[in-house]
Amino acid sequence: MGEPVVAAYALGADGTAVVEMAEASGLRRLPPGRLAPLTATTYGTGELVRAALDAGARTIVLGVGGSATTDGGAGMLAALGARLLDERGRPVGPGGGALAALASADLSGLDARLARTRIVLASDVDNPLTGPRGAAAVYGPQKGASAADVAALDAALAHYARLLDGGGQASAPGAGAAGGLGYGALAGLGAAFRPGIDVMLDVLGFAEAAAGVDLVITGEGSLDEQTLHGKAPVGVARAAAGTTVVAVCGRLALDEGALASAGIERAYALTELEPDPARCMAEAGPLLERLAESVARDYLG
């Protein structure tokens, strides 16, 4: 929103930094009850990336999720030296809505250190930038976008992509992550996409921990169509291939066939015990204990 916030990033002794975009540009940064689907910017994320470079990072893992933005990463690129100008040669305004007025995109002024830095785009979704599965259509409504806003944002992002790289990376997996920040990282920073769950499983030593086990339990708040596009449960099931995998969730919106295709044998939902979503959230702990009893009875004898 253009206001300063205090944000953190991690830097390891090996020169690897982890930057989480939601630290600067996430929904949690918005004032209560205030959404800004057309004007929220990723500029602060670019400032975090620059701070990591200043600290000597040679690899930057850019975690994307929980965003308040749908600006295609334009704000991030601007913070790192890109010139995104309207037809009068002035910088376009903040947010995805302003990209409709973009007339030229010049990346020649990007921080020179980026060319010597490995950028990893860690995303839990593989959506493209635009279209029915794109950043605006799928995630815009949860950021406050109306149907008209979604249409305007989708058109603005398509226009932006044509000017930035001819749309070459717009359909790449992860381009639609975090309101299109993924696209900005891929097309503007030369980032390499990697499913976020794979990054986390490596860090956690999942392969070693899961070796020889009989049952793996994973979960998510809502197991639905979005889950199938690279979110954590699918990544866990893929990594545990050959082992029985079941899931617990708050809400289940996938049929048995979809679950099986994702490598999940069965799912247990809180709404099976308590149909009221509000009570499910308020009483999640006790309800999960009851689901755990069902899992143990069904799979552990």
pLDDT at position 34, please?
87
Q: Give the C-alpha separation, 275 to 140, whole Å.
A: 27
For range 115-137, the mean pLDDT: 93
Q: What is the number of structural domains in the chain?
A: 2
Q: Give the C-alpha separation, 157 to 1, whole Å.
A: 19
From 172, 197, 222, give the residue that closes a domain.
Answer: 197
* pLDDT tens, residue by residue, 246-259: 999 999 999 899 99
Q: How far apart, in Å, are the Cα atoms of 252 and each of 1, 124, 130, 221, 268?
A: 35, 19, 27, 9, 8
pLDDT at position 289, please?
94
Structural domain includes residue 4: no
Query: Which domain covers residue 234, as residue numbers?
Result: 207-299
Q: Determine the 3-state secondary structure of 16 from DSSP.
A: strand
Q: Does residue 203 surpass a pLDDT of 90?
A: no
Task: Identify the CATH number of the domain in which residue 77 sits.
Answer: 3.90.1510.10
From 197, 216, 247, give the residue that closes a domain.
Answer: 197
Q: Give the C-alpha separation, 53 to 119, whole Å.
A: 11
Domain co-membership, 261 together with 172: no
What's the distance, CA 61 to chain centroid?
A: 13
- pLDDT > 70 in the chain, percent: 100
Which of 123, 99, 84 minimizes the C-alpha distance to 40? 99
- pLDDT > 90 in the chain, percent: 77
What's the distance, CA 50 to chain centroid?
A: 20
Domain co-membership, 281 together with 155: no
* pLDDT tens, residue by residue, 14-62: 999 999 999 999 999 998 888 999 999 999 999 999 999 999 999 999 9
| Beta strands per DSSP E along the chain | 10-11, 16-20, 59-64, 83-85, 104-106, 118-123, 192-195, 215-223, 244-252, 266-269
Domain co-membership, 122 together with 220: no
Domain co-membership, 255 together with 218: yes
Structural domain includes residue 3: no
Domain co-membership, 219 together with 174: no
Domain co-membership, 187 together with 67: yes
pTM reported for the whole predicted model: 0.80
What's the distance, CA 60 to chain centroid?
A: 16
